């Protein structure tokens, strides 16, 4: 299942992310791809806030993954500097169902990711406009995408 949203301002993009965040449950995996400056980290911040994270969320480019507490653990990974040899990261520790995992630059570790997930692509279409493409793989994520469409 696939859906596309077009937003005209950063506020709309954050609102869309917040609606998704309110629907996420422990064990959910969301990947975010898109060019530098497309809004992946902005989107992630709104997701985290909707999950009750109160700490400042910023890109974990150099630390690879950051953990936050909210209504469930929130894991924010930036795979930009990684290659496909992720064994030492212990990705399975973050896909065990206890928290929500958001991965920026998933294409860098594609072979290591679970098939079932919600994949988002953010496209820069203007200074404040974006297109967000969503693709659900697996029953849980198809249901999530349906819920998000209605939210």
- Token output for 22: 């309110």
**From the CA atom positions of the chain, what is the Rg in Å?**
14
The 10s digit of each residue's pLDDT in 20-79 is 999 999 999 999 999 988 999 999 999 999 999 999 998 877 778 899 999 999 999 988
The pTM assigned to this predicted structure is 0.92
Choose among 38, 8, 40, 3: nearest CA to 118.
3
The 10s digit of each residue's pLDDT in 116-137 is 999 999 999 999 999 999 999 9
Domains of the chain in start order, with CATH, are 2-150 (3.40.50.300)
Dihedral-angle region of residue 84 (phi above 0 means left; psi in -120 to 50 means alpha; beta otherwise): alpha
- Token output for 91: 């990705």
The 10s digit of each residue's pLDDT in 71-84 is 999 999 988 877 65
């Amino acid at each position: 299942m696939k859906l596309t949203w077009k937003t005209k301002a950063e506020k709309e993009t954050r609102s869309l992310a917040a609606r998704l965040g309110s629907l996420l449950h422990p064990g959910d995996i969301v990947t975010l791809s898109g060019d530098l400056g497309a809004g992946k980290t902005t989107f992630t911040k709104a997701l985290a806030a909707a999950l009750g994270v109160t700490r400042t969320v910023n890109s974990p480019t150099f630390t690879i993954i950051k953990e936050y507490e909210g209504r469930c653990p929130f894991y924010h990974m930036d795979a930009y500097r990684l290659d496909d040899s992720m064994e030492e990261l212990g990705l399975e520790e973050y896909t065990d169902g206890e928290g929500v995992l958001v991965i920026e630059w998933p294409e860098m570790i594609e072979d290591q990711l679970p098939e079932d997930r919600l994949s988002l692509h953010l496209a820069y279409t203007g200074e404040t406009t974006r297109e967000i493409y969503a693709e659900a793989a697996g029953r849980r994520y198809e249901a999530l995408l349906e819920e998000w469409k209605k939210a």
